[in-house]
Chains A and B, each alone.
Chain A
Amino acid sequence: GAVVSQHPSRVICKSGTSVKIECRSLDFQATTMFWYRQFPKKSLMLMATSNEGSKATYEQGVEKDKFLINHASLTLSTLTVTSAHPEDSSFYICSAISGTGGLTEAFFGQGTRLTVV
């Protein structure tokens, strides 16, 4: 299957700082990328959907000013957690689909474990 690379895989930051997570589609052009958040032993919760070149669509309850999403190219989307707090500590996962692909073509990154201290 296609490869989606997410970086970093693990990050620890101080409270009040910002953290940027990158999601790259390595061998296909991703017109749509999704950002999920997963708490321990819990399901993936969709945070936002981003389409290349347009503003992200955030799910209800997700603060768009806190979780900044940029999808500037067909192979890269970034999630920036601004002014991070300990409650933002979680596992963040991106997935990407190509313009010709559907749900079965959604490939996931390996996830980023964020710990805010």
Chain B
Amino acid sequence: QKEVEQDPGPLSVPEGAIVSLNCTYSNSAFQYFMWYRQYSRKGPELLMYTYSSGNKEDGRFTAQVDKSSKYISLFIRDSQPSDSATYLCAMSLGYNKLIFGAGTRLAVHP
């Protein structure tokens, strides 16, 4: 079993839709949870970072962590074509080693 599971998609949605991206994990010791966005042939960029269970909102993005279920989500409201990218979840035990999910390819069409 992989430490972090993420559906690779692709996920195709119309502009304006709410997008839900998810990851599950097996290691209950993970403390830090992050979401990265990666455009084609580019390095990842940090979108959201959460530490505890609950929700964290930043503009159109909401990150949700449920440690009891070992499940994290990223919601994108009012999705735009510019949101089309691969979204990677990442987790850490706290000493700088990040474990990434496989990434979900998202396409938002006009």
User: Which A residues are closer than 8 A to B by beta carbons?
Assistant: 1, 4, 6, 9, 32, 34, 41-46, 49, 91, 93, 95, 97, 102-104, 106-111, 113
Q: Which of B41-87 contact A (CB under 8 A)?
A: 41-46, 49
* Majority-rule SS of A interface residues: strand
From residue A75, how far is it (CB to closest CB) to chain B in Å?
A: 17
User: Which B residues are closer than 8 A to A by beta carbons?
Assistant: 4, 6, 8, 32, 34, 36, 41-46, 49, 88, 92, 94, 96-98, 100-103, 105
For B102, the closest partner residue in chain A by CB is A43
Evaluate contact between B103 and A32: CB separation under 8 angstroms: no
A97 surroundings in chain B (CB, below 8 A): 96
Partner of B98, one of A1, A4, A103, A111: A103
Tally the A-B contacts, defined by beta carbons under 8 Å. Answer: 62
Evaluate contact between A111 and B43: CB separation under 8 angstroms: yes
Write 6 A-B pairs (CB below 8 A) sorted by A numbering. A1-B46, A43-B4, A44-B98, A95-B43, A103-B32, A108-B43
A93 surroundings in chain B (CB, below 8 A): 43-44
- CA gap between A103 and B103 in the complex, in Å: 19
